[in-house]
Amino acid sequence: MVLQPEEWVRQHVVQNLISDRNYPKAHINVEKQLLLNNLKKRYDVVVFNPNGSIEILVECKSPDIKITQQVFDQIARYNLQLKAKYLMVTNGLTHFYCKMDFENEQYSFLENIPSYQS
């Protein structure tokens, strides 16, 4: 089976979360459907906390797709429902990470996603 470019990015993100950031494989969920304003959408990668809340929401794009404000708006819309603490947007070449501040309805950019804390 030949990997599509976006799938290649997704698999590398998952591998990075497990190998470099120490997230347990069992906490990582890939390509599941969600309902957003009665529309069926799919998220790329979600990392759950042990209590079932969402720690990280990841949006993966193909390497030939530029990460734009529109891409960021997409993950922000998904996160209105999912309430992830951290967001990651990547095309495999460029990566953006941010931490949500729900109280003030804003986010701040980070150097990386924090490592797993058990």
Over residues 68-108, the pLDDT tens digits come to: 988 888 888 889 888 999 999 999 999 999 999 989 888 89
Give residue 88's pLDDT. 96
* Confidence class for position 65, pLDDT limits 50, 70, 90: very high
State the CATH architecture for 5-110.
Alpha-Beta Complex (3.90)
112 within 8 A of 87, measured Cβ to Cβ: no
Helix H or strand E encompassing 75: helix 69-82
d(CA 57, CA 43): 8
d(CA 13, CA 7): 10
d(CA 21, CA 25): 11
- Domain positions in the chain are 5-110
